[in-house]
């Protein structure tokens, strides 16, 4: 459930008219519902209360500091994948022991900073990375904890670009290689190899892939125990799907009922890394209709938000419902497109959509995850403002960029002809 609903034919976010927000703050505009965000986090926490996991919100889904702060205040940790996200975690005052650090390409500088911060552990993606973290920790005279990311070779049944658990993907270490590494863990003098990590993909709507992956890892844990290798943590990643269109994803309760018995058998402390499940339906992108264009074969609704604001449709052919801010009974087939100079700049294609006119506003639904966090300044466009609604209050949590922001780090070389 989410807090974006029609009342008297007008779209509201909690207790505020979305149209009022669009007129007050301008468009394109990301709008988030605080109560939807927190409700989805607490649903997971409640469903898994029996095993009391550390729920580390996946920062990459939406890294706004206010969103991080809101979740941290409710007990969440953070799953980070870069030095920049570590900086955000620090700014949001996340306790270091609630931070886990993934990514296949951590740099020396990033590793050093995370060791210095005292994070809970790194999710290690390769033997080469394991050796490098050990080297850096030794140079810092530190012992740092790591978990080995296992690639369980499981088909996640999601878009190929967001499937991460097949052996053909760049992520993780296969079971046999991981076994050999763990047998030699005493050689890594400055590492405490304390856990295993899996993450098989994103927007997974069925429980079967998760069950298969956890069973494989559970069997692997028993194999390790037989060799006297005892671990402390099992990080089961994230990947829970949400409703974008007509999907019927499992609820937190159903997911928990399926996997808690398997997790209990491991005897390990459990960590989860949800992102989309928490924030996806907590946000929308509001855009304004600039022009209605008719061609010989199509109708185009041209809006002021494009692929630089929300790239998912262009990148993944992702589906987002598009609602008018004022309910309109009549519909017609159209493409909703942005102002970017690319044919791939669209928010919807061949869609039955409300018969809007120039100056109307549209809400691109389920845009809270991988919306702003994947946005860019392509075509030198200013990135959107972000607003969080809490009941009847609207708080700006990111100001709209200015033209000066576009060039603030650039250095213009003068007198080039004289060089």
Question: What are the DSSP calls for 74-123, one per residue?
Answer: TT-EEEE-SHHHHHHHHHTT--GGGEEE--S---HHHHHHHHHHT-SEEE
Domain limits, the chain: 4-31+282-407, 34-279
Say which residue the tokens 């207790």 belong to: 15
Q: How many CA atoms lie within 13 A of 326 on its CB side?
A: 10
Which CATH superfamily, name and number, covers 4-31+282-407? Lyase, Ornithine Decarboxylase; Chain A, domain 1 (2.40.37.10)
Structure tokens that stand for 152 in this block: 């369980």
pLDDT (tens digit, 0 to 9) for every residue of the chain, 419 residues total?
689 999 999 999 999 999 999 999 999 999 999 999 999 999 999 999 999 999 999 999 999 999 999 999 999 999 999 999 999 999 999 999 999 999 989 999 999 999 999 999 999 999 999 999 999 999 999 999 999 999 887 764 444 444 443 445 556 788 888 989 999 999 999 999 999 999 887 677 677 888 888 898 989 999 999 999 999 999 999 888 888 887 777 889 998 999 999 999 999 999 999 999 999 999 999 999 999 999 999 999 999 999 999 999 999 899 999 999 999 999 999 999 999 999 999 999 999 999 999 999 999 999 999 999 999 999 999 999 999 999 999 999 999 999 999 999 999 988 777 76
Active site residues: 341
**DSSP assignment, residue 63?**
-
One CATH from 3.20.20.10, 3.40.50.300, 3.40.50.1360, 3.30.870.10 for 34-279: 3.20.20.10
State the Cα–Cα distance between residues 345 and 373, nearest whole angstrom.
17
């Amino acid at each position: 459930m989410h807090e974006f609903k029609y009342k008297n034919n007008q779209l509201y976010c909690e207790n505020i008219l979305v149209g009022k927000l669009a007129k007050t703050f301008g468009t394109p505009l990301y709008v988030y519902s605080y109560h939807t965000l927190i409700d989805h986090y607490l649903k997971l926490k409640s469903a898994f209360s029996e095993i009391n996991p550390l729920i580390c919100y996946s920062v990459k889904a939406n890294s706004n500091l206010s969103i991080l702060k809101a979740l941290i205040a409710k007990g969440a940790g953070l799953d980070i994948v870069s030095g920049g996200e570590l900086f955000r975690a620090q700014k949001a005052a996340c306790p270091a022991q609630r931070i886990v650090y993934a990514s296949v390409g951590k740099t020396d500088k990033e590793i050093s900073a995370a060791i210095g911060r005292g994070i809970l552990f790194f999710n290690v993606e390769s033997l080469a990375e394991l050796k490098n973290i050990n080297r850096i920790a030794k140079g810092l005279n530190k012992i740092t904890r790591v978990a080995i990311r296992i690639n369980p070779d499981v088909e996640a049944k999601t878009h190929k670009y967001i499937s991460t658990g097949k052996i053909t993907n760049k992520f993780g270490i296969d079971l046999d290689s991981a076994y050999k590494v763990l047998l030699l863990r005493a050689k890594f003098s400055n590492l405490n190899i304390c856990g295993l990590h899996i993450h098989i993909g994103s927007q997974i709507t069925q429980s079967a892939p998760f069950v298969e992956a956890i069973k494989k890892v559970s069997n692997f844990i028993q194999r390790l125990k037989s060799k006297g290798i005892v671990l402390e943590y099992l990080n089961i990643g994230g990947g829970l799907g949400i409703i974008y269109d007509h999907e019927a994803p499992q609820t937190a309760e159903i997911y928990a009922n399926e996997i808690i018995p398997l997790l209990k058998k491991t005897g390990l402390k459990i960590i989860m890394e949800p992102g989309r499940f928490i924030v996806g339906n907590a946000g929308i992108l509001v855009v304004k209709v600039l022009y209605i264009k008719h061609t010989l074969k199509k109708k185009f609704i041209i809006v002021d938000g494009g692929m630089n604001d929300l790239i998912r449709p262009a990148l993944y052919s992702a589906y987002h419902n598009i609602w008018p801010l004022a309910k309109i009974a009549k519909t017609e087939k159209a493409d909703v497109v942005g102002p970017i100079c690319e044919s791939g700049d669209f928010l919807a294609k061949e869609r039955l959509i409300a018969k809007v006119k120039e100056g109307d506003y549209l809400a691109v639904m389920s845009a809270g995850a991988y919306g702003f966090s994947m946005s860019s300044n392509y075509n030198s466009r200013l990135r959107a403002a972000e607003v969080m609604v809490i009941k009847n209050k609207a708080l700006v949590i990111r100001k709209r960029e200015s033209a000066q922001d576009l060039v603030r780090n650039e250095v213009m070389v003068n007198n080039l002809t004289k060089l």
